[in-house]
Structures are given as C-alpha cells and as structure tokens.
Chain A
Amino acid sequence: MKKTGLLALPFVVGLAALVGLPAVAALGLAFTEFSGVEGPRFTGSANVSRLVADTAFWRSLGNTLIYIVLAVPLRMVAALGAALLLNRRSRTASAGRPLAYLPTVVPDVAYALLWLWLLNPLYGPLAAIFGTADLLVDPWGARVSLALLSVFQIGEAFVVALAVRRSIPPHLYEAAAVDGAGPWFALSRLTLPLMTPVLGLLTLRDVILSLQVNFVPAFLLTDGGPRYATTYLPLYVYRTAFRYFRLGYASTIALTMFIITAVIVLVQYRLARRWRLTP
C-alpha cells in the first residue's frame, strides 16, 4: 500500500503544482484586481458585477454554446457511425480503425495549421475545389468550419463506442435475426438502446471537452473572428488575462467556466447512477 502511494507521488506532486495550486490561486484572484505588475487588490464581488454586465463575456458564452450545439452532435454521430461501420471483422475495417483514430494524435497546433492551409481563401485546396473563398470571413462560415474540423478528432469517443458495440453479445443479433429484425430494426431497437448509457456519458464528456478544446483553432485559424464570432470562453479568458492583463477578472471568468463544467459533471453523475454503465 505504501509502495503504491509512492508510485503515485510524482503524479500527485505534478497535479498539485500545475493544477491544484493555480486553481486555488485563481479562486483567490477571482475576487481581486490584479494586473500582474502590481500586487492583487481585493475587490469583493466587483468582478462578478462586471461579469454580469460584460457583453463580451455573454457573447463568448453564446459562441461557446453555439460551438457545443454544432460540434457535439456532429462529433458523436461521427464517433458512433465510425464505430458501427468499423466494428466488422474485415480487412477494410481493420485498416479503417487506426485511420479513424489518427487525427486525434496529431498535435492541436499542427492540426489547426493544417486546416488553416486547407481553408485558406487564396491558395487553400478547399477554396479551389468548392469556391468557398469567404468561409472563414463569414461569421457562420467560421463557426461551422471550426465545428467541422473538430469532427475528425474523435479518437477517444470512437474507441469507447467501438468497445461498447463489441460488448453487445453477438447472439442477441442472431436472436433478433431469427425474430425477423432487419438491420434498421436491430440498430434502432437493439444496438442504440444498449449503447445509450455510454453514449450519454460520452456526450456529456464531449460537452465538457468542447468548453475547452476550441482554444487552439480559434486562436490560430480565426483569432476569435470574424466579428468575435469565434471568440469562445477559453480565448476570452486568455485575452483578458494576457493581452489586457486583467488577471483577476480572467480568474472570475475561469471560475464561471468551472461552475458550468461542474453543473455538467453533476448531470453526468446523476445519469451514471440512473443508467447502468454496461449494457
């Protein structure tokens, strides 16, 4: 037991130093004015009042929610679709499984730069093929583009969905086939209901993830534009903290993001208790 604890020590120390301490510091800073040059000055709930009246915050929150609404269903459908298609035991499916995971291991910055080239209105191949030169110039074009490019990075959800699909005993499908169920009936009455508990958890996980993962593409591809259409909460926190040096107020926004995430985790916990994790 003691040895096990020692093995976990490096991780625990790293977690405390890199996550725990900054989190505690951010909690304290959320109620101060702090530029990083002078020491923090306690301002009570002033940052909260400012947040409530801050149209840029509400716009960023709205953008984030739009991103979630656009990206999460697309990513879940893509992960589920890939899992169902690549579940078969064939050479094509065997080759397809690593391909489905591959974009997930590409570093975020490289992935964003790749899309920057693909979507470039002057010399990007997509613009040349589809003539969509103004895709990143139009607010909705940019929002949809950022949601679409996230659809390829579904590795973890794909692997989990594939594992759940494979955990459904084959004899249930045989029983359904003898019962006269066609592929669509088997999918809608057997596969999807049996996968639903885990798909529900995956969706909630993806919602939490979508609150955070949009920083790199929004920063590198659109810089939050056009007309702030892709200024999501993480990018807004970054700008507030490191462009305008309002570290106290940035901490208040980060704290708000944490509360939103906590609410989603609570929902996730409730759902996990209600549904069995395994079909």
Chain B
Amino acid sequence: MTLRLRDVSKRFQTRAGEVKVLDGVSLEVPQGRMTVVVGPSGSGKTTLLRCVAGLEELDGGSVEVAGRDVTSLDPGERDVAMVFQDYALYPHLSVRANIAFGLRARKVARDQIDAKVEQAASMVGLDAQLDRSPDRLSGGERQRVALARALVRRPAAFLLDEPLSNLDAELRTQTRSQIRSLQRSLDTTTIYVTHDQVEAMTMGDSVAVLRAGRVEQVGPPMELYERPSTAFVAGFLGSPPMNLFPSRLLGRDGDQLCGVRPERVDLVATDDARLHGEIAAVEPIGGEVIVHVRVGDCTLLVRRDLRGVGHLDGTVGLGFGDDDLHRFSASSGQRLP
C-alpha cells in the first residue's frame, strides 16, 4: 500500500505574516518500505507528517494512501496510525484500554478487541503491563504502548514522529532496531520523522532530507551520504558533517564549494599534502579522534583512528583522493559534475 504525496503545500498565518512551512513536497513511499524524513528544526518534518495524518489541512497538493486520495478525509478515515513524539497516551486509561481505544472508536466486537490487544501487546513485549496505568511505566514502556496502539489496527501506514527523542541513548539504540524489525515483519508502509541523522541512516529504506519546507534529496541512505545532491545534504548528514570549503583553498578558480568527509581525510606529511593547516583542537571520542585543523579562514575536521595518530601539534598536512572530493555550486548549493 503505497503512500504518495504530490506537491503538498502548507502555510501558517503568524503575526509576522504568512509562513510557508511546506512548499511543494512530493514523496512516494512504496508498500512495506520505511522512508525517514530528516531535517533541521523548523524544516517542516512534523507538519508534513501531520498533513499526511489529516491533522493539518493542506493548502495545495494531495495525499494518497493505498491508491486512495485521502486529502479531504478526516484523520480517522485515512487508515493511518501515528506515534506522537511524547506518545500522547490517555492518562486515565490502562495500557490495555489505551491500545484498545482505536478499536473501540471503530466499534470492533469486544472479543476481537481483547484478542487484538493481547497480540499487539505481546509483539512489543507489554504482556505483563496491560493492566497498569501509563504513569507507572518507564519511558521505553510508554513508547511501546504508543507503538502497540498504532499497530493494533493494522493500518495501511505508520507515521512516527520522533518516537525515540525522549529515550536515553542506550534505550534509543535498542528501540531503534525493535521498531525496524516490527515494521519489516508487519510489512507496513512507514514515514519516520527524526532530526537524528543516525536514526535516518540506520532505519530508513530511503531518506528524504527536508530543508525550509522543500525536499532537498530523496534516496537510499548511503546514496545520500556518498553522493549528496546539494551542499546542504552534504553538510547535514554525517557525524561530524562533511567539510565544506571554498575551492580557492585548493588553488582552483570559480564559484565552487568543495567537500570532503572527515573520515576520508588523512593526516600526511606536509610535502604530500593537498592542504596545510594549524591544529586548533583535538577531540578524542573513544576509539577515534576528531582533529580540528585551521586552514585559512576555514576549520576542517579529520576523523581518524586514535591508535594511528601520534602527538598532534603545530602544522599538519591534509590529504585526500579526487574520488573523495565533492564539488557544489557556491551560489545554488547544487552538486557539480
């Protein structure tokens, strides 16, 4: 059941005037696939999800779920389920009643509700917590209740709005793989919104990078990483992000930005170097080290294995291959051939 957005636009009226939050967003999530929408704060990710759910009225474009135009339908008629950032659990209801809420609203027979709720709870490992109140659950358990509430109806599409943002790092990693395997086993079309690029890279079959209400690039995660179509995508994905610097540092003319991933940069002898710079800072991050090198008026980052790096000080040379070098137009930000 494919989910298709065509030229979706959304404007908000503020005191300062009209703000275009989504500007002609088109996106297609094929049956059973997960597309991760990623972008900085204010890029329109959550608004996009709310438009698909029917919580926001579109100013233009259309939304299709499983071949059905749902643009003018109420949220409950769209056959989608949404997991909210703060879970939106009903505080006065038990876990069981929370999961059953949507089925009750749809007047499903009581015996079917019980069976479906128990099945959904068992899928997310909440069998023992069914009769507890949400306020007695941990953050991870609440998150799983929200998931169970979404999957109990077996909707055509899941919409997940930063579902891991309230979890600690360890639980986040654990839940990330749990969500991914659940989504695969249920074969449900999913849009997953996050600002965390690690989630984007690890979870999505495809990633859509959103910037100021426009899709910058959509594609498989590694394609976006290896061949970013704009300087923004290059700078957004990767930790630390791609080094972007004017081409004049390499002695080239033209209105260009050059980019190279920090892990593709070598610290080399100054004679063999493509760039020379002064070490500004050294940050050990476990097994690796991030070296800040000041080159002209830019700071470039180098990510290397801690063991291969000796004492760092003074002037260093930076080396990288032509294949590792990305070029973008400095004015439009578009990738250059």
Contact = CB atoms under 8 A, between A and B. Distances in A.
Whether chain B is bound by chain A comes out as: yes
Contact of B102 (A169, A171, A180, A279): A180
A189 interface: yes
B92 A178 contact: no
A176 interface: yes
A28 interface: no
Given A169-B88, A185-B104, 8 more contacts: A174-B84, A176-B90, A178-B76, A179-B76, A181-B102, A185-B105, A193-B92, A193-B93
Given A177-B74, A180-B76, A171 B86 contact: yes
A175 B150 CA distance: 10
A181 B76 contact: yes
B84 A175 contact: yes
B91 A180 contact: no
13 contacts: A175-B90, A176-B90, A177-B76, A178-B53, A178-B54, A178-B55, A178-B78, A179-B105, A180-B76, A182-B76, A190-B90, A193-B92, A279-B92
Interface in A174-212: 174-182, 185, 189-190, 193-194
Nearest to B79: A180
A9 interface: no
A178 B50 CA distance: 10
B33 interface: no
B91 A174 contact: no
A175 B86 CA distance: 11
B88 A189 contact: no
Given A182-B76, A182-B105, A177 B90 contact: no
A181 B54 contact: no
A172 interface: yes
Interface string B261-290: 000000000000000000000000000000
B145 to A, nearest CB: 12
A176 B101 contact: yes
* Chain A interface extent, by class: 10 to 19
A177 B57 CA distance: 14
Contacts of B92: 193-194, 279
Contacts of A189: 101, 104-105
A180 B153 CA distance: 10
B101 A178 contact: no
A35 B173 CA distance: 83
B61 interface: no
B252 interface: no
Contact of B84 (A171, A181, A182, A279): A171
Which 6 residue pairs of A and B lie closest in terms of their CB atoms, listed nearest first?
Answer: A180-B76, A179-B102, A175-B88, A181-B105, A177-B75, A180-B105
Nearest to A173: B88
Given A181-B76, A193-B92, A175 B82 contact: yes
B116 interface: no
Contact of B82 (A169, A178, A193): A178
Given A169-B88, A172-B88, A172-B90, A181 B101 contact: yes
A176 B74 CA distance: 12
